[in-house]
Amino acid sequence: MDKNSKIYVAGHKGMVGSAIVRKLQSAGYFNIVCRTSRELDLRNPVAVSDFFQKESIEYVFLAAAKVGGIVANRDYPAEFIRDNLLIQTHVIDAAYKNKVTKLIFLGSSCIYPKHAPQPLKEQYLLSGALEPTNEPYAVAKIAGITMCQAYNRQYGTNFISVMPTNLYGPYDNFDTHTSHVLPALLRKMHDAKMDGQPVVEIWGTGKPYREFLHVDDLADACLFLMNHYNDQEIINVGVGDDISIAELAHLVSAVTGYEGQLLFNSDMPDGTPKKQLDITKISELGWRARIPLRAGIENTYTWYLKSQQNLALASEH
């Protein structure tokens, strides 16, 4: 990408999109186009088509999506498949019709088969049954990947698909009912510390393993891949290491300063037992994650505390 290229970041208010905007700006890219969901509803094909025609976009980071943890996926399956299919279909098609130079589509490691061998290689996609708790979301994301590949084959586009592992960082969703595990733990431990609660309940057995990538590392990888990767096949982005949910909970407890008891509720679902990405492909291209897990959690907790202070100040005024 040229430093003056016109770049559209879809989903710039979200955790991933905002990190990509920060990364682009720090790297000297300032011709960035962003629209809030209120300004541009990506589920509306006419609105998306008009936007692309008017703006003459050259590069697209498609980070807009409906995302959430186990509870949100369980409670809103129709919205997860419908909204994601609509968003990605309209953006990918408009990018093709308006001759966008290159597009990055953001997938997710949770779309790999539930019992695929570990670590997860790119070729394992569609090799087995999906995790039932997030199947509608996974099917939508797989459709987006397949759509990018189909457009590349038929129309000669350059649309690539990136598979990040579990993400966390600034602008994450900290709602304990709809968020992913790491921000949910941060919020629970913080609230328990502030309220003097002696016990924090954690869903599941604590035995599953998860890999966590700071969103600023993902943004760095996305810019790297936009400039250095043009393959049809998906590419994993991870850290090459994982941690049990129980170990994670104790780490979050230490970072937040919560000193109470952690109680694991085995009646609640665990999800996939292990989900670590094989990062051989991106490593061979010369990219590695830089932010250690504890430092990343500390950074995220600092951001969360600041955001809570800002909310409190705003409510006073």
- Residues designated catalytic: 137
Q: Is position 270 annotated in a ligand binding site?
A: yes
Q: Is position 12 annotated in a ligand binding site?
A: yes
Q: Please give the angle made by the CA atoms of 246, 247 and 252, to the nearest 5 degrees.
A: 95
Q: Is position 271 annotated in a ligand binding site?
A: no
Q: Is position 5 annotated in a ligand binding site?
A: no
Q: Is position 262 annotated in a ligand binding site?
A: no
Q: Is position 260 annotated in a ligand binding site?
A: no
Q: Is position 180 annotated in a ligand binding site?
A: yes
Q: Please give the angle made by the CA atoms of 70, 71 and 75, to the nearest 5 degrees.
A: 120
> Pairing state of beta strands 243-244 and 166-168?
unpaired
Q: Is position 15 annotated in a ligand binding site?
A: yes
Q: Is position 227 annotated in a ligand binding site?
A: no
Q: Is position 188 annotated in a ligand binding site?
A: yes
In sequence order, the 6+-apart residues with CB closer than 8 A to the CB of 16 are 63, 106, 164, 167, 215, 218, 219
Structure tokens belonging to residue 271: 């999800």
In sequence order, the 6+-apart residues with CB closer than 8 A to the CB of 74 are 133
Q: Is position 68 annotated in a ligand binding site?
A: no
Q: Is position 275 annotated in a ligand binding site?
A: no
Q: Is position 11 annotated in a ligand binding site?
A: yes
Q: Is position 74 annotated in a ligand binding site?
A: no
| Number of Cβ atoms within 10 Å of the Cβ of 73 | 24
Q: Is position 17 annotated in a ligand binding site?
A: yes
Cβ atoms of 244 and 209 closer than 8 Å:
yes
Q: Which residues are annotated as a binding site for NADP(+)?
A: 11-17, 106-109, 141, 164-167, 180
Q: Which residues are annotated as a binding site for substrate?
A: 188, 203, 210, 270
Q: Which residues are annotated as a binding site?
A: 11-17, 106-109, 141, 164-167, 180, 188, 203, 210, 270
